[in-house]
Amino acid sequence: MSNKKSMVNEFKEFILRGNVIDLAVGVIIGAAFQSIVSSLVKDIISPLIGVITGGVDFSNKFLLLYTPVNGANVSTLAAAGAQGPVLAYGAFITAVINFLIMAVVIFIMVRSINSLRGKTLQVMTTKMKGQSGSVTASNASSAPQTQSSSSSEEKQQCPHCYEKINVNATRCPFCTSQLDNSNASSN
């Protein structure tokens, strides 16, 4: 029974981590965003590519993998697919275009969010500097600093991601794991 409780507690800790929740939100938003990207490719980009390539419609490009019956209609992908196997390379090209557009949009979003986080961090460290006089913007935004002689600057290693963090930290700033005093392993 204690093994089940341990497993339940471990699962609860895993689910409540910030990274898992962020991932779930990202997947949900990505799924909703996929319909927008599909429409963009189908309704705007594919017709433009068709104009550039002289009227080629990629969504209806296919290769028959069988010999059609004489007089059979194989002019569209749907009609040809109903009679036998087809290689729909046009659908694949459309999917690749969807992927590339999604990757560019996600790159731009992540870049913008990281830029905003950097500005927010800079504002927060400026405010903290005004209050305590000991924190600088360069210290807060850079990698963990080397160990100093002051007890408030001593570092420990996070037991989850193994990054160096302040010995007084209750949550790891890198992996957001909840820390307790038994996890503190000073170097």
Q: pLDDT at position 86, please?
A: 92
pTM over cut 0.75: no
* Segments of the chain scoring below 70 in pLDDT: 1-2, 18, 130-153, 181-187
Contact 80, 74 (CB under 8 A): yes
Q: pLDDT at position 8, please?
A: 87
Q: pLDDT at position 150, please?
A: 45
Half-sphere exposure of 139 (CA within 13 A, CB side): 14
In Å, how far are 100, 125, 164, 170 from 139, measured between CA atoms? 37, 9, 14, 19
